[in-house]
């Protein structure tokens, strides 16, 4: 089959992100290539999730009927990806041979087909319907929720369920120091998707919606060009939904607004004076005259004038500068609204999104 190089490169750039290349799981370093019913499908896996990227193709008339060109093969993902990316010819030809995939571009290249211990070609598991009906999800809303909530997802496995996104009538993530809650319904039945699956969902484009089929702990997302298949993250029933909702509902009594970019610029400069010895912390002091930001050694200090206030009382706290930055960067507006007054946390408000940041102990 023949395909435009630019089109293949775009497909490969997407699908390669689904290959984790885990040396303990050989199939995660492979890419499946299938031509069937006039469509090219590329497939990869991270061992838990499978990603498929599909594209209708126009086969060159010299190859004859479409059905004569149907094939499936599987080769090294990294080599296939790099070769496609380095090809400068307008078209790339893929031809399935008995023991290798022949690729014609700037030259002729042979990629060995992956075989298992029985000497048979490795195959990606088939993806079949998991439910009789699908739920349609607004794709932009789903992707926006993932992007905003990402900074609050746990990065370590002390509590495995916290490494995922709890999605239902709202989207919730937490690493126990940060909390994000987005009040926008995406699905009615709660699901807990892994960080890896969330990253794959961010790859989907050129569609207004994506379909979801769910049965037990199996999730299948698809539209015309993308399919994402995997298991729901374990521990949904343990996810601290109620404590988070109670925390978000706390009254903070005081709130101020500051310019988002100005605050980020100040934090960038302030980070030059924050060391590991300081545990990443800076002092915030809310006063009627503005927000004072000071390093723990008091060798750096800046003041930001408020653009809006509501019941401003003097309050000072110690906060992790990187945590604060990570939440401010997700704000969609030019102004950041910060609510304070609670002893152990501050709240950042952005429309239907609420961020909670735990404060550091000033005695440490």
Give the pLDDT confidence score for residue 65 in this predicted structure: 43
Over 90: is that where the pLDDT of 261 sits? Answer: yes
Q: At what angle do helices 321-328 and 260-270 cross, to 10 degrees?
A: 150
At the topology level of CATH, where does 2-112 sit? DNA Polymerase III; Chain A, domain 2 (3.10.150)
Contacts of residue 158, defined as CB under 8 A and 6 or more positions apart, other chains included, come to none
Q: What is the pLDDT of residues 144-173, one digit of tens each?
A: 999 999 999 999 999 999 999 999 999 999
Give the pLDDT confidence score for residue 131 in this predicted structure: 87
Q: Where are the beta strands (DSSP E) in 121-253?
A: 135-138, 164-167, 171-174, 178-182, 191-194, 209-215, 218-222, 226-231
Over 70: is that where the pLDDT of 364 sits? Answer: no
The CATH number of 135-247, from 3.90.25.10, 3.10.150.10, 3.20.190.10, 3.30.930.10, is: 3.10.150.10
Contacts of residue 185, defined as CB under 8 A and 6 or more positions apart, other chains included, come to 168, 169, 170
Same fold, 2-112 and 135-247: yes
Over 80: is that where the pLDDT of 221 sits? Answer: yes
For the chain, the average pLDDT equals: 93
Give the pLDDT confidence score for residue 275 in this predicted structure: 79
Mean pLDDT of 239-244: 97
Burial zone of 100 (CB within 10 Å; 0-12 exposed, 13-18 middle, 19+ buried): middle
Break the chain into its structural domains and give their ranges: 2-112, 135-247, 251-358
DSSP 288-306: TTEEEEEETTSS-EEEE--
Give the pLDDT confidence score for residue 130 in this predicted structure: 87
More confident residue, 61 or 293: 293
Share of the chain above pLDDT 70, in %: 96
Q: Which tokens belong to 162?
A: 């916290």
Residue 260 is inside which H or E element, if any? Answer: helix 260-270
Pairing of strands 100-104, 91-96: antiparallel
Give the pLDDT confidence score for residue 125 in this predicted structure: 92
Q: What is the pLDDT of residues 28-85, one digit of tens each?
A: 999 999 999 889 999 999 999 999 999 987 655 554 444 447 899 999 999 999 999 9
Q: What is the pLDDT of residues 318-345, one digit of tens each?
A: 999 999 999 999 999 999 999 999 999 9
Mean pLDDT of 91-107: 94
Q: What's the number of CA atoms in the CB half-sphere (13 Å) around residue 191?
A: 25
Give the pLDDT confidence score for residue 132 in this predicted structure: 86
The domain 251-358 having CATH identifier 3.90.1150.10: the answer here is no
Full-model pTM: 0.92
Q: What is the pLDDT of residues 75-87, one digit of tens each?
A: 999 999 999 999 9
Give the pLDDT confidence score for residue 64 in this predicted structure: 44
More confident residue, 270 or 363: 270
Give the pLDDT confidence score for residue 363 in this predicted structure: 66
- Please answer whether residues 51 and 45 qualify as being in contact, where contact means their C-beta atoms are separated by less than 8 angstroms: yes
The DSSP 8-state label assigned to residue 88 in this structure reads -
Mean pLDDT of 169-195: 96
Q: What is the Cα Rg of the chain in Å?
A: 25
Contacts of residue 117, defined as CB under 8 A and 6 or more positions apart, other chains included, come to none
């Amino acid at each position: 089959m023949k395909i435009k190089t630019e089109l293949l490169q775009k497909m490969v750039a997407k699908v390669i992100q689904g290959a984790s290349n885990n040396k303990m799981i050989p199939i995660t370093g492979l890419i499946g290539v299938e031509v069937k019913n006039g469509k090219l499908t590329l497939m990869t896996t991270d061992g838990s999730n499978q990603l498929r990227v599909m594209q209708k193709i126009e086969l060159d008339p010299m190859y004859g009927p479409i059905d004569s060109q149907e094939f499936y093969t599987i080769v090294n993902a990294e080599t296939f990806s790099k070769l496609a990316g380095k090809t400068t010819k307008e078209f790339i030809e893929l031809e399935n041979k008995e023991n290798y995939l022949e690729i014609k571009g700037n030259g002729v290249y042979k990629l060995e087909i992956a075989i298992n211990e029985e000497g048979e070609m490795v195959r990606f598991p088939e993806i079949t319907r998991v439910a009789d009906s699908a739920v349609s999800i607004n794709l932009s809303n789903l992707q926006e929720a993932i992007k905003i909530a990402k900074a609050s997802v746990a990065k370590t496995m002390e509590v495995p369920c916290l490494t995922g996104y709890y999605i239902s009538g709202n989207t919730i993530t937490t690493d126990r120091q940060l909390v994000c809650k987005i009040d926008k319904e995406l699905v009615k039945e709660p699901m807990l998707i892994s960080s890896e699956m969330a990253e794959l969902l961010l790859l989907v484009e050129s569609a207004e919606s994506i379909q979801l089929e769910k049965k037990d702990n199996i999730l299948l997302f698809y539209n015309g060009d993308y399919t994402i298949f995997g298991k729901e993250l374990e521990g949904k029933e343990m996810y601290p939904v109620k404590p988070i909702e109670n925390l978000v509902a706390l009254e903070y009594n005081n709130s101020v607004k500051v310019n988002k970019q100005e605050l980020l610029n100040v934090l960038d400069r302030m980070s030059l004076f924050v060391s590991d010895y300081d545990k990443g912390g800076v002092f915030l002091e809310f006063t009627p005259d503005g927000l004072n930001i000071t390093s723990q050694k008091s060798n750096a200090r800046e003041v930001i004038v408020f653009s809006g206030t509501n019941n401003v009382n003097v309050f000072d706290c110690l906060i992790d500068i990187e945590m604060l930055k990570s939440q401010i960067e997700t704000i969609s507006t030019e102004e950041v609204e910060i609510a304070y007054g609670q002893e152990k946390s501050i709240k950042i408000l952005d429309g239907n999104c609420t961020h909670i940041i735990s404060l550091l102990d000033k005695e440490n």
